Structure 1
């Protein structure tokens, strides 16, 4: 399966594409960071980023799109820009009939590192290790976008991932795993899910 991950931002928007096999092995397809100048009008900045996203979508033809979920922050201007480009990405994916999933920062960190409060260096290091890269993708927006794509494939199980806590019998009936059967990453992911469902605002990947 091919997933395009988007780490939304008005000044810097990370976009990463990965292919993930049924054994959870992942391969880097492409990664970039789209930028827009602070001196441009808002509508021109959104247009510039939209064109970059369209080019990546059309060139790589992903099957799924994963976007970081936007949370309220102290900096209203920053969160507004993030929300605006997230809306653009959602629209572009919908026009192409692509399923989109929003993932919280805690979910991504738990899926990639097994620890929902991992820092950016830990996430970048694990992304490089998973993809077999000799260096951590830079800037951090690039690594975050790739982490989102990998997280989506593993978390949903559509690439043979094991992170979800429900499995299937040979006949297709769902089977609930007990806590003792879950891996550390699975337990961390479930904890991240629970924290996202209550009124606690997780820290963003854009720390």
Structure 2
């Protein structure tokens, strides 16, 4: 199966709303706690090694980074959130920027929430899922680093998250196992993203 996301290229990094591209077409945003594996997931979906910068240092993504995958079609890498060492004023700026982004960005077609399978549904994850629900956007959760657990543990974690999502968010949020390193769930996640983008 051909991968339309493999053509993804860096477009811009926005620190202010005025730096965002025109609010047309479709965008899929990627959110996740610092070090949850968001950059690795983006790279795996796009079949590229260094599209999104991966780092051992949490909080590396400090802007909204846009990757173009077609005419007016974008993947948006949100700042890694929940990292305590970010100065308070910068954290407040991000919070305001992201709040506004979710409230008003009409091109937003869906949200991917990236969570370490060993630490899912933390406060920040739930906040992002709530943003999506408030806007009426579909959300899809990737339980990353699934290869760190055995098959039985993977299944238990998946069921537990699925149950909580159903209780808290109804049918607006879905979830799957994922590993960028061993390619678990990459095709499944890619199908969700390309569907939202209309590709």
Larger helix proportion of the pair: 1
> Is the shorter-chain TM-score for this pair beyond 0.5, marking a shared fold?
no
